[in-house]
């Protein structure tokens, strides 16, 4: 299937490693031009260089923190100046601290809201007018399976990310007539650095080994295994493509059957 996004300009946030990087690779493989960001410049430049070399892609990269709304606005404006258009925006960030409620501070709640809700707002605010101008766009927010099934010890993710669902639906309704699709994609347990951090936190809190923590998650999936980031990226790239043209306001859970609801 031709996904129909050759030459499209795609922003992927928090993309030097993990899910963001896998999505950037998937988009580059389909011929998209990329604009990437993450905080650590060196690791970002390395990722950008590797993606350019592997896929022959154009890659614009800028180091920034996605919780800095002004920096996000400048990055999106610089991307539009560089390429003349923005068609796809995949908003993403790191994950919040993994703690049970009693151990969280008010400051951590504020930081989680900045990281896992307001960063999506900043990218949407900056990118949507660019898409409106050309009457075509794909806004995709990366959240977590915690938006469907709260995860033990991750109250910040469970509570804050739920707002992404309301944001997705609202923006889908407000911008549908501009030819812009707005969706949310919710990863389950996927083999990235974040998962290793979570396994270490779970092991500490439950008094088990890191291997046992990972085994618990593996057993909780229908497929009996954790995901490769590329499996997540394939679904994300589809939602960013021409072929997803009648899908908007949705949350796609990519979790190997971890979520057990109907
Ligand atoms: N992997 C999973 O199993 C899983 C499951 C559910 C949800 N999620 C969520 O999906 C998102 C991505 O996860 P991941 O597994 O890809 O994480 P990861 O492997 O830790 O990668 C995070 C990426 O985001 C960048 N980043 C982190 N904080 C940032 C910030 N404030 N501003 C800009 N860039 C930032 C990192 O680079 P720098 O450090 O250089 O900034 C890195 O490139 C997270 O919100 C995570 O909680 C992941």
| pLDDT single digits (tens) 10-54 | 999 999 999 999 999 999 999 999 999 999 999 999 999 999 999
**Residue 4's pLDDT band (cuts 50, 70, 90):** very high
pLDDT of residue 180: 99
**Whether residues 141 and 195 fall in one domain:** no
- Identify the burial level of 207 via C-beta atoms within 10 angstroms of its C-beta, where 0-12 means exposed, 13-18 middle and 19 or more buried: exposed
- The answer as to whether 66 is a domain residue is yes
Q: What is the pLDDT of residues 236-252, one digit of tens each?
A: 999 999 999 999 999 99
**Whether residues 86 and 200 fall in one domain:** no
Residue 226 Cα: closest atom of ligand 1: 3
CATH number for 157: 3.40.50.720
**pLDDT more than 70, % of the chain:** 100
When pLDDT is averaged across residues 183-207 and rounded to a whole number, the result is: 94
Q: How many CB atoms lie within 10 A of CB 197?
A: 14
Q: Which of 94, 148, 253, 255 to mutate to test the pocket of ligand 1 (most atoms within 8 A of CB)?
A: 94
pTM of the model: 0.98
Strands 180-187, 137-142: pairing kind: parallel
**Whether residues 242 and 222 fall in one domain:** no
Q: Of the candidates 39, 228, 249, which has an alpha carbon nearest to the alpha carbon of residue 140?
A: 249
When pLDDT is averaged across residues 156-164 and rounded to a whole number, the result is: 98
Q: Of the candidates 185, 28, 209, 59, which has an alpha carbon nearest to the alpha carbon of residue 120?
A: 185
**Whether residues 184 and 158 fall in one domain:** yes
**Whether residues 244 and 117 fall in one domain:** yes
- The answer as to whether 91 is a domain residue is yes
First to last CA, the chain: 30
Q: What is the pLDDT of residues 137-146, one digit of tens each?
A: 999 999 999 9
Q: What is the mean pLDDT of the chain?
A: 97
User: Strand, helix or coil at 162?
Assistant: helix
- The answer as to whether 53 is a domain residue is yes
Q: Of the candidates 112, 104, 115, which has an alpha carbon nearest to the alpha carbon of residue 39?
A: 115
List Cα–Cα distances, 100 to 66, 91, 155, 170, 219, in angstroms.
Answer: 25, 26, 6, 30, 22
CB of 160 within 8 A of CB of 112?
A: yes
- The answer as to whether 85 is a domain residue is yes
The domain containing residue 208 runs over which residues? 189-226
**Whether residues 193 and 99 fall in one domain:** no
**Whether residues 145 and 212 fall in one domain:** no
Q: Whose CA is nearest to atom 41 of ligand 1?
A: 39
Q: Of the candidates 243, 60, 256, which has an alpha carbon nearest to the alpha carbon of residue 145?
A: 256
- The answer as to whether 235 is a domain residue is yes
Q: Which of 47, 50, 64, 95 to mutate to test the pocket of ligand 1 (most atoms within 8 A of CB)?
A: 95
When pLDDT is averaged across residues 214-218 and rounded to a whole number, the result is: 96
When pLDDT is averaged across residues 103-127 and rounded to a whole number, the result is: 98
Number of domains composing the chain:
2
Ligand 1, CB cutoff 6 Å, lining residues: 14-20, 37-40, 43, 65-67, 92-95, 115, 142, 144-145, 187, 189-190, 192-195
Q: Whose CA is nearest to atom 31 of ligand 1?
A: 65
CA atoms within 13 A on the CB side of 200: 7
pLDDT of residue 205: 86
**Whether residues 99 and 25 fall in one domain:** yes
Q: With b meaning 16 or more CB within 10 Å and e meaning fewer, what string describes 111-125?
A: bbbbbbbbbbbbbbe
**Residue 171's pLDDT band (cuts 50, 70, 90):** very high
Q: With b meaning 16 or more CB within 10 Å and e meaning fewer, what string describes 11-23?
A: bbbbbbbbbbbbb
**pLDDT more than 90, % of the chain:** 96
**Whether residues 142 and 174 fall in one domain:** yes
**Whether residues 50 and 103 fall in one domain:** yes
Q: Is it the case that residue 207 has pLDDT exceeding 90?
A: yes
- The answer as to whether 108 is a domain residue is yes
When pLDDT is averaged across residues 78-88 and rounded to a whole number, the result is: 98
φ, ψ at 53 (rounded to 5°): -70, -45
Residue 66 Cα: closest atom of ligand 1: 32
**Whether residues 99 and 219 fall in one domain:** no
- The answer as to whether 1 is a domain residue is no
CB of 50 within 8 A of CB of 17?
A: no
List Cα–Cα distances, 8 to 13, 114, 160, 221, in angstroms.
Answer: 16, 29, 31, 35
**Whether residues 152 and 142 fall in one domain:** yes
Q: What is the DSSP letter of 242?
A: G
Cα 162–Cα 184–Cα 200 angle in degrees, nearest 5: 65
């Amino acid at each position: 299937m031709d996904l129909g996004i050759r030459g499209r300009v795609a922003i992927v946030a928090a993309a030097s490693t993990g899910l963001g990087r896998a999505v950037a690779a998937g988009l580059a493989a389909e011929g998209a031009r990329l604009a990437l960001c993450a905080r650590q410049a060196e690791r970002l430049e390395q990722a950008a260089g590797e993606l350019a070399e592997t896929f022959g892609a154009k890659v614009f990269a800028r180091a920034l923190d996605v919780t800095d709304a002004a920096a996000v606005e400048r990055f999106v404006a610089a991307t539009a100046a560089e390429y003349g258009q923005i068609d796809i925006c995949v908003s993403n960030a790191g994950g919040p601290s993994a703690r049970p409620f009693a151990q969280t501070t008010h400051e951590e709640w504020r930081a989680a809201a900045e990281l896992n809700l307001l960063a999506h707002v900043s990218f949407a605010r900056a990118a949507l007018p660019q898409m409106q101008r050309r009457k075509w766009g794909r806004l995709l927010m990366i959240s977590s399976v915690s938006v469907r099934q709260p995860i033990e010890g991750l109250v910040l993710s469970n509570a804050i990310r739920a707002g992404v669902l309301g944001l997705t639906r609202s923006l889908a309704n407000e911008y549908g007539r501009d030819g812009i699709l707005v969706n949310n994609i919710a990863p389950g347990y996927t083999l990235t650095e974040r998962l290793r951090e979570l396994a270490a936190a779970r092991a500490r809190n439950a008094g088990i080994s890191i291997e046992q923590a990972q085994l618990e998650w593996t057993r909780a999936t229908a497929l009996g295994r954790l995901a490769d980031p590329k499996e997540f990226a394939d679904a994300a790239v589809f939602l960013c493509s021409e072929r997803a043209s009648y899908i908007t306001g949705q949350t796609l859970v990519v979790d190997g059957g971890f979520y057990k609801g109907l």
